[in-house]
Amino acid sequence: MTDKAKRFPLTLASVVDQKSKADHSKRSVATPQTATKNAAWDSSRPAPAAPVSKPMARPAQTASRVERSGSMVSDGVRKAMVDRVARQGVKDAKVLAAMEAVPRHMFMEPGLSSQAYIDASLPIGHHQTISQPYIVARMIEIMRDNQQGGVLNRVLEIGTGCGYQAAVLSLVAKEVYSIERIKPLHELARSNLRPLRIANIRLHYGDGMLGLPQVAPFDGIILAAAGLEVPQALLDQLTIGGRLVAPVGSRHQVLQLIQRTSKFDWTSTTLEDCHFVPLRAGTV
């Protein structure tokens, strides 16, 4: 359930040199890109061997070289990703710093880690995707823009996936709870997060539509999957003043911010268009 932790953040060098991806070869092969129009290429075209966006331009590299070459995967490439996210409109310095600190490539299987820093969501297996860097940053920025100057004690993520967004959240909130409904992804996230030794993340396997009433209330809730509406159970688990950010819709989706203003009142604001995998009930 919980990743044992000693200290976080680790220096990047201490994580990129690890052989922690060795057991990835045993994992199921990633499914094709699903439910994302955010990808830099569409599914009818083969994925490029190397990043296509300008700031990231570099020679094609094999995954094993990516593993070995700390310098390739670390500071420069990730900095370019963060610069791009900032150009796309994310201003919150704490969010940008968190994005720069988390080694996104460690949440991908080796075959895709050379693309970890491109501006796209990418397959993580089981028809699910790791979210595009911009949308991860943007949702957290919206959640942090609260009356407490960005202070977040307890936050909840619905849809752990590979664990990347939970890792970013762990740098902006005191406690992070994250729920995943697909058992192998819950386990994938656990093994991805283990080498990072993040003390303040609690992973749960279950139906996130029910939230975590035993732990609530939460200062912030982020849904990483889109439903036709936000489940009432989650609204009930917000603190007064708490902020929930969720994609809502099916084919056409929008990002919605819901703020709890009193015990019985919530306000809703519709923000930008987005595209996420669907929110589904139950567990598998």
- From residue 88 to residue 127, what is the string marking binding to ligand SAH with x (rule CB under 6 A)? ----------------------------------------
Is 225 an interacting residue with respect to ligand SAH (CB under 6 A)? yes
Among 116, 156, 209, 258, binds ligand SAH (CB under 6 A): 209
Is 255 an interacting residue with respect to ligand SAH (CB under 6 A)? no
Closest to ligand SAH by CB, 74 or 165: 165
Instruction: Report how far residue 92's alpha carbon sits from residue 136's, in angstroms, rounded to the nearest whole number.
Output: 12
Is 185 an interacting residue with respect to ligand SAH (CB under 6 A)? yes
How many other C-beta atoms lie within 10 A of the C-beta of residue 165?
26
Tell me how far, at minimum, the Cβ of 164 lies from ligand SAH, in Å. 4
Active-site residue list? 131
- Angle value at C-alpha 220, between 228 and 168, nearest 5 degrees: 100
Residues contacting ligand SAH: total by CB under 6 A: 25
Largest CA distance in the chain: 56
Instruction: Report how far residue 92's alpha carbon sits from residue 206's, in angstroms, rounded to the nearest whole number.
Output: 31
Tell me how far, at minimum, the Cβ of 150 lies from ligand SAH, in Å. 20
Is 161 an interacting residue with respect to ligand SAH (CB under 6 A)? yes
Is 181 an interacting residue with respect to ligand SAH (CB under 6 A)? yes
Closest to ligand SAH by CB, 118 or 130: 130
Is 253 an interacting residue with respect to ligand SAH (CB under 6 A)? no
Segment interacting with ligand SAH (CB under 6 A) among 50-58, 144-152, 207-215, 234-242: 207-215
Among 51, 123, 125, 159, binds ligand SAH (CB under 6 A): 159
- Residue 172: alpha-carbon gap to chain centroid: 13
Q: What is the token pair recorded at 140? A: 């957290």
Tell me how far, at minimum, the Cβ of 140 lies from ligand SAH, in Å. 11
Is 207 an interacting residue with respect to ligand SAH (CB under 6 A)? yes
Is 165 an interacting residue with respect to ligand SAH (CB under 6 A)? yes
Among 106, 188, 224, 238, binds ligand SAH (CB under 6 A): 224
Is 277 an interacting residue with respect to ligand SAH (CB under 6 A)? yes
Is 128 an interacting residue with respect to ligand SAH (CB under 6 A)? yes
Closest to ligand SAH by CB, 16 or 177: 177
Measuring CA to CA, how many Å separate 231 from each of 26, 88, 119, 138, 259? 36, 30, 30, 22, 14
Residues that bind ligand SAH (CB under 6 A): 128-131, 158-162, 164-165, 179-182, 185, 207-209, 224-225, 277, 279-281
